Amino acid sequence: MHYISTRGFGPVNFRTTVLDGLAPDGGLYVPASYPKFSREELEELSFLSYEDIADKIMSPFIGDSVPSDILSQIIKTAYGKFNDIEVTPLIQYEEDTWIMELFHGPTFAFKDIAMQFLGPILEYTLGEEGTNATVIGATSGDTGPAAIEGLKNSDNINVFMLYPHNRTSAIQRMQMTTSGSQNIFPIAIEGTFDDCQNIVKELFSDLAFKEKINATSINSISWARLLPQMVYYFFAWSRLRDVVPGKEISFSVPTGNFGDAFAGYLAMQCGLPIKSILVATNSNDILTRFINNNDYSSHAVKPTRSPSMDIQIASNFERLLFDIYGRDSDVLKHAMREFKQHKALPKINDLQIDETRSIFSAESISEVDTLKMMSESDFTHNILIDPHTAVGLAAAKKHPELKPIVSLATAHPLKFPSALKEATAKELLFDDELDKMMKTEEVFDILPPDAELVRQYILDNL
């Protein structure tokens, strides 16, 4: 398996994508071609465990960069830490609608599915290279805790995690600031997630700095972070194939950075028979505006009760745009220059937008409807959901034509106690481990949204 950058660099192997994170030309790595799974291979998934499905689906993308026996062991160890044997269990919500719970990992968010895999993959790769690495990441709330959980106490990896100051939930913040690990450096940026993400991209574009500290990424700009998220689409299909025989399944995906939605698109490109991927956004609706109105223009970020989706520049969108442009890196580079200059992409042509809409649907959900969905889920179905999951489920209810549909539950409701109490008047009790964490002293630093200051902070702490 070879990978190329959306901006022209390559080809490289999987190991290089792990070490680089972002391609040297500023682009994102994508497969040079998508492997295809036959119908027979897909049907065999129904008899496999989640771990075995993950092994079968990811192996073609990894090739000989990781020996098969080591890959299998990494997968089994990663998902053995989850508190449900199915890893991402499906719960029927109503007729032809299911919720897929992605929050059974150590930090109670879907990012664990990727991070529990990426951590040991990165450590293995560094071990083979005989070197250390510096992880620089940006989080809107869930990536940071999952990355820190996966990489804390590592001997050969230091982690610098940027998050928007006072724009995450308390639990999300404290999962980053209470690790007690000497290799973890949480940085609260006085700005938005987009500011954090832009700083990370600027640091990675400085190739001399990147080489000096051997920087890599664990954000979904990293291919190795995105790849494991594709697996649960195959898992869901394998468990529902005989429940809805002969029907294609849709997925409702609450998303801000487009990584989870792109993972579904990737599964579709590999042969999974998906009817539609419903992109569900909150009022930060750049992705919805693109799909519905051919308008990819960045507006000011609006704080919402679903803070992990408070994003107005979806970094993973470049991967889809590359395919929309016929994998022409020159056209892509021109479009990204236009976006950087004018905060808006040139409109794509009618054929391109029609093709995009044949794969994706989109819906933006208001704050009122988010709370209403949380309340309805509790009152009608006795299922407590977090605000991000509510966005996805509310979007699914607005599109009955997409049934049967699986709505992704991306975080445990206890991570957002304020929104839960506001919507349902209920409170969830922390388990002993979380209760202990909430009483632990926090360690973090606050910096302005300035790449130079962050660069110096990293150098001072290595």
Let me know how long the chain is.
462
* 3 state DSSP class of 119: helix
Region of residue 343 (left: phi > 0; alpha: psi -120 to 50; beta: else) = left
Amino acid identity for residue 85 in this structure: I
Nearest C-alpha neighbor of 384 from the set 419, 342, 355: 419
> How many Å apart are CA 100 and CA 113, to the nearest integer?
13
> How many Å apart are CA 239 and CA 219, to the nearest integer?
29
| 397 carries an active-site annotation | no
> How many Å apart are CA 133 and CA 16, to the nearest integer?
13
Q: Residue 1, class by beta-carbon neighbours within 10 Å (0-12 exposed, 13-18 middle, 19+ buried)?
A: middle
> How many Å apart are CA 128 and CA 66, to the nearest integer?
10
Of 76, 81, 111, 302, the catalytic one is: 111
Q: What is the number of helices (H) and of strands (E) in the chain?
A: 20, 13
> How many Å apart are CA 151 and CA 143, to the nearest integer?
12
Kindly state the tokens that stand for 264: 């579904």
Q: Are 87 and 235 in contact (CB under 8 A)?
A: yes
Residues noted as catalytic = 111
